[in-house]
Amino acid sequence: GQQLNQSPQSMFIQEGEDVSMNCTSSSIFNTWLWYKQDPGEGPVLLIALYKAGELTSNGRLTAQFGITRKDSFLNISASIPSDVGIYFCAGQETSGSRLTFGEGTQLTVNP
């Protein structure tokens, strides 16, 4: 089946630093999404990407949909303590279909 490789698995950074995480896939997705999950809650959508090569920003977050349709990255600039959590990439083959998730990146931000 489809698999998403997400890296790094964990990151420990100082407040104010920028971070970057990425996902690669063995197959093509037509939509890439990035979610954040806080403890005891479900994932919350941060950014959705619908076109190959698309670069989209949401505040301090920037994500790109790779031109091969097999990868995506997420950048967080000027990190703050509330950025702590687990970040997941997800791929979707067609609109409304199931999501295939990466294994997550645990982000820790030290004040």
Using CB under 8 A as the criterion, which residues of the chain lie in contact with other proteins when the complex forms?
4, 6, 31, 40-45, 48, 50, 88, 90, 95-104
Q: What are phi and psi of 43, to 5 degrees?
A: -65, 145
How far is the first Cα of the chain from the last one, in angstroms, to the nearest whole number?
Answer: 40
CB of 103 to other proteins, least distance (A): 5
Nearest to other proteins of 15, 26 (CB atom): 26
Q: Is-contact 16 78, C-beta < 8 A? A: yes
Nearer to other proteins, 82 or 95 (CB): 95
User: Residue 41: phi, psi to the nearest 5?
Assistant: -125, 165
Given the complex with other proteins, which of 9 and 78 has the nearer CB atom? Answer: 9
Q: How far is the CB of 61 from other proteins (least distance, A)?
A: 16
Q: How far is CA 34 from the centre of its chain?
A: 4
